[in-house]
Structure 1
């Protein structure tokens, strides 16, 4: 038995020993692996739960629905609004803590309504050492179980387990919530979130894979991965993206020549501003 196989078995046995679990589920690779392990271990007593809000792109919600169906796990969707929290809207360097507290609170309420005592998330063994991660504080405070972390399963091993379960998201790039595109200190508003989502949907439609559209109070700063930068510099793309993003309400449109970087609108270039509040603490942006 390989090390990864042993860790997979330990995590599955851990979940199988519980009466049931609710998984904070984004459809990203980390939470999908936890969902697959839980479904394998508990069958109908495992429930994936996705929290829908203004910061969750519609495309990610559809992905979560699709992956839950792929796994065969029961999938619940709950709705709430981070924008009802003044602390979240303020967008200081603890934004992810406020977001995660609210999201996991929705998971705990769902679990209670289902008579389930355990809520799990997708924190993996690499996350605690990956910079300032305020969302992890919420996980600890709310006593949420992180089976990947508990059994020392790294991000690379998560992807191997995803391949073992033949999950389509095994190689999916990480996706953080839309608020991570707004610089710390600039308020999170529905208008900003909407134009960011629409702008990124266009880039996805145009065939870009790893990218972000950062909203600097009306200035769109586009980041794409280094291997896609040459295409982004083509005049036809420049003219099209400028016209389309202007229609969405951006006053200026720029291309960041550094390319895609995690945490590039956060204090001290922290890696955590882009935690995935969609529900995987591990994701980045």
Structure 2
């Protein structure tokens, strides 16, 4: 028996004692593990719910559909718009709080409609100590249950459990919502979100695994993982990405030689991978 086994069993027993569960589900590894545990524990009384909005890339929504099918859990999709909130659009240091409050509000409403007694999210035991995470305040205020956190399951252990459930997302990198690519203080708009999503789709087509396209009010700053920097300097890619991103409305296209790093346009202590949980994982 490994050290994760008692934690896994305790989390599953915890969920089994609930009167129905709705899992805030993005299709990332954290929420996928919670969904798998909930489905294992409750069967048809467990539901995965994904909140669709302008900040969720279409590719991530498709991933969520696919992983829910993999798990075998019922999957509901609800639509809303963070852009209806002036506080969110303003994009201050608490943007994630406003976003998460709205997203989890959609989960709570879905739970009421389905007669489920508990809403769960994918906050894990490493998250509270990982820098500026205002989204966690929303979890506490709305009394959302975080089984991974409650049973001290770390990110490494989450991936181990995902392997046990044979989930395809076991090694999936964290994926923050699109608004995390816009520097704090610069308004979040639909146009900016759309061009970021299209720009990142291009990098995905070129086979990059860990990347971001930051939108500095018309200047695109591309970040890729350090071990992928050499490929990003390929002349064919450089010419293609410059032309394509210019067509999307970016005035300048740059490559950040520091490589990919979380929170590089957010408050200094913020780890943008927190948004993985706020959008369901």
Task: Provide TM-score, normalisation by structure 2.
Answer: 0.98
Q: Which moved more, 1:232-241 or 1:244-253?
A: 232-241
Matched residue, 1:184: 184
Cα 1:27/1:273, change in 2 over 3 Å:
closer
Partner residue of 1:211? 211
Q: Deviations over 1:3-31 (max 9, x none)?
A: 20110000000000111100000000000
Q: Would the alpha carbon gap of residues 149 and 9 (structure 1) be closer, same or farther in structure 2, given more than 3 Å must change? A: same
Asked if the contact 1:121/1:145 (under 8 Å) is kept, the reply is yes
Task: Please show how residues 73-112 of structure 1 align to structure 2 within 5 Å.
Answer: 73-112=73-112
Q: 1:262–1:274: 8 Å Cα contact kept in structure 2?
A: no
Moved over 4 A (4+): none
Give per-residue Cα distances to partners, 1:18-59, cap 9 Å, x unaligned. 111000000000000000000000000000000000000000
Equivalent positions of 1:1-285 (< 5 A) are: 1-272=1-272, 275-276=275-276, 277-280=278-281
- Return the offset for 1:2: 2.2
Change beyond 3 A, Cα 1:34–1:17: same
Q: Deviations over 1:111-157 (max 9, x none)?
A: 00011110000000000000010000000000000000000000000
| Counterparts of 2:269 and 2:143, CA distance in 1 | 29
* Residue aligning to 1:283: none
Tell me if the contact between 2:127 and 2:274 (Cα under 8 Å) persists in the aligned partners. no
Structure 1 unpaired stretches of 5+: 281-285
Long gaps (5+) in structure 2? none
Cα-Cα RMSD? 0.9
TM-score normalised over the length of structure 1 = 0.97
Write the distance in 2 (CA, Å) between the matches of 1:37 and 1:268.
Answer: 34
Q: Is the 8 A contact 2:184 2:265 kept in 1?
A: yes
SS at match of 2:124: coil
> Across the two proteins, how many residue pairs are aligned to each other?
280
